[in-house]
Amino acid sequence: MNFEYAAAPESRSVVKIDPVYGHFINGKWVNGSAHFNSINPATEEVLSSIALGSTADVDAAVKAARNAFDKSWSKLSGRERGKYLFRIARIMQERAREFAVLETLDNGKPIRESRDVDVPLAAAHFFYHAGWADKLEYAGVETTTTPHGVVGQIIPWNFPLLMLAWKVAPALATGNTVVLKPAETTSLTALLFAQVCQQAGLPDGVVNIVTGDGSTGSAIVNHPGIDKIAFTGSTEVGKLIARAVASTNKSLTLELGGKGANIVFGDAAIDETVEGIVNGIFFNQGHVCCAGSRLILQESIADEVLEKLKRRMDKIRVGDPLDKNTDLGAINSAEQLAKIRELTAAGEAEGAGRWSTNCVMPDKGFWFAPTIFTGVTQAHRIAREEIFGPVLSVLTFRTPAEAIEKANNTPFGLSAGIWSEKGSNILWATQQLRAGVIWANTFNKFDPTSPFGGYKESGWGREGGRHGLSAYLKGSAK
Amino acid sequence: MSGRLEVMKTYKLYINGAFPRTESGRSYEITSNKGEFLANACLASRKDLRDAVVAARAAQPGWAKATAYNRGQILYRIAEMLEGRSDQFAQEISLQTGASAKESLQEVSDSVDLLVWYAGWSDKLPSLAGSTNPVSGPFYNFTVPEALGVVGAIAPIDKPLLGFVAAIAPILVSGNTAVALASSTAPLSAISFAEVVATSDLPNGVLNILSGQQNELAPWFASHMDIDGLDISGLPVDQHGAIKEAGVENLKRISAFTKSSEPGRILAFMEAKTVWHPIGN
C-alpha cells in the first residue's frame, strides 16, 4: 500500500511583508541607513530588505527606552503595566496565523511547529508574565521589586518570536524598558510584534526594536546607557559579551549552547522512547539549544532502539515548511548548513558510522537530511560540539553510573533526557545529571511557568517561572 | 609568664582535612597592628590552590548527598565548637587587628550566631527557592535548587573571623564544597577556624583554607576551570572587573555581597533544576 500525502500548503496570503523595513524606535518607524536582505531559507527568495542598525540607531533606541522608563513606564502601577501585557497576549492570539506563516517563511521551520508551538507559547508567555506585574513582592526570597531600567536583549534565529516573548514579557512585567535586536536572518516577526505594541497602545519607547547583525548587537552590549543585557545564542558569543560587560555595572543573563544527553535505560518503553528521541533531535531541524543531540543507549536495547529509530526516521517528511504535513523544514541559513556539513564530515573522518534517510529534498533552499552517527566516542567532535542541526550522535553504556558519567562529560549543562519505566531510577538519574532542564519520558517541552536555563557553560540565570523574574529585578549581589 | 616559655602554634594550610604546609615552602610574617611578630603564615601558591580544588571536587558529591538535616547539624556543630573557644579566638583577633577585647569577643559571638543562622537554612531554603510549576499539559513539573559544585571564596581583609564565616557558611550549607582564601593580613583566625572545623564532623575536603596574598591567588581562583563559583566580597571593588573577566572562560558564577546574612548568598551558588514527567497511566 502506498500512503502518499497530497500537498497541503498553508496560504501565505494572510501575511503582508513590506519590501523594506526600518527600526522601531520610540513608537515610530525610523529609516535605516544601510540594509541587508532577509530570505526564505526554503526557497532563497528575498522576503524583504532589513535595516542594518548602526551605533547611532542603537543610541537613539537607548535614549527612547531611558526616556520611557523615566517618564512613563516606571510611573505606572504594576497593575496597569500588566494590563498592557495582557493586551499584547490577546493581540498575538488574534493574529496568531499571521505570525505563524511569517515565522515559517522567514525561519524555514514547519508551519505545524510555528502554528502549534512557537506562536501559542509566545502569547502564553505574555499572558503569564502579565499576571506577575502587580505581584512582584511575592516573587521570591532572592530579589527586590526594583527593575534594572533599560534592558538590551539579543535573541537568536531558531525561535525568533518565542525568544522575543521570553525576553520582552518578563522585562516589561518587572518594569524595565527594552531595546531588542532580533537575529540577522529572522527579523520579520519581531517587526510584526512592533505593530502589536502599537495596537496595544504601549507607551512610546517602552519596546524598541533595532534590526541588524553582530555589529548592532555589539553596539547594544557596549552602550553605557543600558543597565542589563540578556542574550540567547552561542556559548562563544555569550563569553564575548560576558567579557565585554565584566568591568561595567551591567547585569547579564545568558542562555547559551548545549549538547543534551538523552539517556535510554534498558527498561524504557521502546516505542515511546523512539518518538521522544525523534522529537528530541529533529524538532525545529535540530536548531534547538536544548536538543537531545547525544543519544546514550543501554547496550541491552541499543540494537532494537536503533532499528526502530531508523524505521521511524524514514517516515520524517522533509520539505516545504508551509506544508501542514511537513515534519522537518529548511536549515535556517547557508552559513548554518555549512557548519552542519563541516561537523558531520568531521564525524565521518573521525570514524563514526553515518546513516541518513533517503528523503527527496527541494532543489532550492538549504536542506539537510535527518542523520544519525553510531559508534561515537566521547572524544569525537560530534559528541562534544553543538551541531545545531538534525544530526544525532549515538553512544552506548552498560551501567547507570557510566551513563551519568558520559552524560555529564561536557562543558555544557542545559538539558538532558531520561527514558525508564522505573520511578526511583528516573529520580536518581535526575539528581545525578548536571543540567538545568531534565525531561523524563518526554523531551522538548516548554511552558512559561517552567524555569529554563543551563548549568556550567550553558548560561547564567533562568527564563520562565518565578525564577526567570529575578533576572529582571535587582538582587542584593553584585 | 616567668620561668615558662610559651609553646607557639605553627599556622599551616587546611586541605582535605589535613594541615599541610604550602608546597612552595614559602611563608610570610604576620604581625600585630603594633608590628610585633605573631606567626609565619604559609604563603600559599597556585599549586596549593589546585590541590585544594582537587580535594573539594572529590568531596562535593558526598557532601551534596548528605541530608539537609545532616548538613545543618554539622554547621551547627561548628558553631558549638567555636563558642567553646570564644576567648582564644577573641584574643587572636585582637592581636592581629588591634580591636578591643570587647569588640573581638563580639566578632566571635557574631560568627557563632551567623553559623547557627546559616545552619538553619539547610532544610528550609529548598522549599522557598523551589517550585512546582503549573504547566499547560499533562506533566508533573518542578524546580529544585541544587548545589553548584566547588566554590571559591576570597575572604575580606578586615573582620578576619566574621568575614571568613560569612563567606564559607552560605557556600557550604547547600552542599557545595569550598576553597577559601583567608584575610591576607590577618589569616590566623581562619587557620584556627580550621581546627574548629576539623572537630565538627565536616567531611574531609568540604572546606579547604589557604593563607596567602589576594593579588597572587585571586586571578588563579578566577581562571581555574574546575571552580564553578566565586565569592569576591573580600576583594577591592576596583579589582572585580578583571576577576570577572578571567572567570568567563568557564562562565564561573561570580558574586560579591555587602550583607553577611542573607539567603541570596546561598542562592548565588546554587543552580535551579527543572524536571518534567508525563502524567498518565
Same domain flag for A78 and A148: yes
Inter-chain CB proximity B272 and A457 less than 8 Å: no
Chain B 206-265, residues with CB within 8 Å of chain A CB atoms: 228, 240-242, 244-245, 248-251, 253, 255-259, 262-265
Same domain flag for A333 and A463: no
Same domain flag for A413 and A267: yes
A290, A432, A437, A450: best to mutate for the B interface, most B CBs within 10 A: A450
Contacting residues of B for A139, CB less than 8 Å apart: none
**Looking at residues A335-357, what average pLDDT do you find?**
98
Mean pLDDT of chain A: 97
Per-residue pLDDT of A131-157, as tens digits, reads: 999 999 998 876 789 999 999 999 999
DSSP annotation of B122 reads T
Question: Is pLDDT at A478 greater than 50 in this prediction?
Answer: no
Per-residue pLDDT of B213-254, as tens digits, reads: 999 999 999 999 999 999 999 999 999 999 999 999 999 999
Establish if A2 belongs to a structural domain: no
Same domain flag for A292 and A365: yes
Same domain flag for A227 and A143: yes
**Looking at residues A27-54, what average pLDDT do you find?**
98
Inter-chain CB proximity A438 and B262 less than 8 Å: no
Establish if A192 belongs to a structural domain: yes
Q: Which of B241, B274, B278 sits opposite A451 (nearest CB)?
A: B274
Establish if A234 belongs to a structural domain: yes
Same domain flag for A204 and A319: no
Residue written as cell 572567570? B247
Per-residue pLDDT of B59-106, as tens digits, reads: 999 999 999 999 999 999 999 999 999 999 999 999 999 999 999 999
Q: How close B269 gets to chain A, by Cα (Å)?
A: 11
Q: How close A246 gets to chain B, by Cα (Å)?
A: 5
Is A197 annotated in the active site? no
Check A10, A103, A184, A255 and give the catalytic one.
A255
Establish if A365 belongs to a structural domain: yes
A132, A249, A455: best to mutate for the B interface, most B CBs within 10 A: A455
Check A113, A184, A289, A386 and give the catalytic one.
A289
Establish if A285 belongs to a structural domain: yes
Burial class (CB in 10 A: 0-12, 13-18, 19+), A370: buried
Q: How close B253 gets to chain A, by Cα (Å)?
A: 8
Chain A residues with CB-CB distance to B under 8 A? 124, 140-142, 235, 238-239, 242-243, 246-248, 254, 256, 411, 426, 430, 435-442, 445, 447, 449-453, 455-457, 459-460, 462, 465-467, 475-478
Contacting residues of B for A449, CB less than 8 Å apart: 133-136, 141
Q: How close B57 gets to chain A, by Cα (Å)?
A: 14
Question: What domain range includes position A158?
Answer: 23-256+456-475
Same domain flag for A204 and A227: yes
Per-residue pLDDT of A415-457, as tens digits, reads: 999 999 999 999 999 999 999 999 999 999 999 999 999 999 9
Is A80 annotated in the active site? no
Establish if A12 belongs to a structural domain: no
pLDDT confidence of residue A141: 73
Same domain flag for A40 and A137: yes
pTM equals 0.96
Inter-chain CB proximity B274 and A247 less than 8 Å: no
Contacting residues of A for B252, CB less than 8 Å apart: none
Is the Cβ of B124 closer than 8 Å to some Cβ of chain A?
A: no
Confidence of residue A4 (pLDDT cuts 50, 70, 90): confident
Establish if A90 belongs to a structural domain: yes
Mean pLDDT of chain B: 97
Per-residue pLDDT of A429-439, as tens digits, reads: 999 999 999 99
pLDDT confidence of residue B1: 52
Q: How many domains does chain A have?
A: 2
pLDDT confidence of residue A1: 64
Inter-chain CB proximity B265 and A439 less than 8 Å: no
Q: How close A452 gets to chain B, by Cα (Å)?
A: 7
Q: Which domains does chain B have, with CATH numbers?
A: 27-278 (3.40.605.10)
Same domain flag for A267 and A242: no
3-state secondary structure chain A: CCCCCCCCECCCCCCCCCCECCEEECCEEECCCCEEEEECCCCCCEEEEEECCCHHHHHHHHHHHHHHHHHCHHHCCHHHHHHHHHHHHHHHHHCHHHHHHHHHHHHCCCHHHHHHHHHHHHHHHHHHHHHHCCCHHHCCCCEEEEECCEEEEECCCCCHHHHHHHHHHHHHHCCCEEEEECCCCCCHHHHHHHHHHHHCCCCCCCEEECCCCHHHHHHHHCCCCCCEEEEECCHHHHHHHHHHHCCCCCEEEEECCCCCEEEECCCCCHHHHHHHHHHHHHHHHHCCCCCCCEEEEEHHHHHHHHHHHHHHHCCCCECCCCECCCCECCCCCHHHHHHHHHHHHHHHHCCCEEEECCCCCCCCCCCCCCEEEECCCCCCHHHHCCCCCCEEEEEEECCHHHHHHHHHCCCCCCEEEEECCCHHHHHHHHHHCCCCEEEECCCCCCCCCCCECCCHHHEECCECHHHHHHHHEEECCC
**Looking at residues A276-290, what average pLDDT do you find?**
98
pLDDT confidence of residue A476: 54
Per-residue pLDDT of B105-146, as tens digits, reads: 999 999 999 999 999 999 999 999 999 999 999 999 999 999
- C-alpha torsion angle, residues B6, B12, B14, B15 (rounded to 10): -140
Question: Is pLDDT at B197 greater than 80 in this prediction?
Answer: yes
Same domain flag for A111 and A219: yes
Question: Is pLDDT at A383 greater than 60 in this prediction?
Answer: yes
Inter-chain CB proximity A440 and B141 less than 8 Å: no
Output the domain CATH number for residue A173: 3.40.605.10
Inter-chain CB proximity B134 and A475 less than 8 Å: no
Assembly ipTM: 0.96
pLDDT confidence of residue A50: 98
Question: Is pLDDT at B15 greater than 70 in this prediction?
Answer: yes
For B126, nearest residue in chain A (alpha carbons): A141
Establish if A163 belongs to a structural domain: yes
Q: Under a CB-based contact definition with an 8 Å cutoff, are residues B212 and B184 in contact?
A: yes
The proportion of chain B whose per-residue pLDDT surpasses 70, expressed as a percent, equals 99
Same domain flag for A343 and A469: no
Exposure pattern of B41-77 as b/e (b: 16+ CB <10 Å)? bbbbbbebbebbbbbbbebbeebbebebeebbbbbbb
Inter-chain CB proximity B131 and A451 less than 8 Å: yes
Q: Under a CB-based contact definition with an 8 Å cutoff, are residues A438 and A280 in contact?
A: no
Same domain flag for A281 and A357: yes
Question: Is pLDDT at A396 greater than 70 in this prediction?
Answer: yes
Output the domain CATH number for residue A394: 3.40.309.10
Question: Is pLDDT at A477 greater than 60 in this prediction?
Answer: no
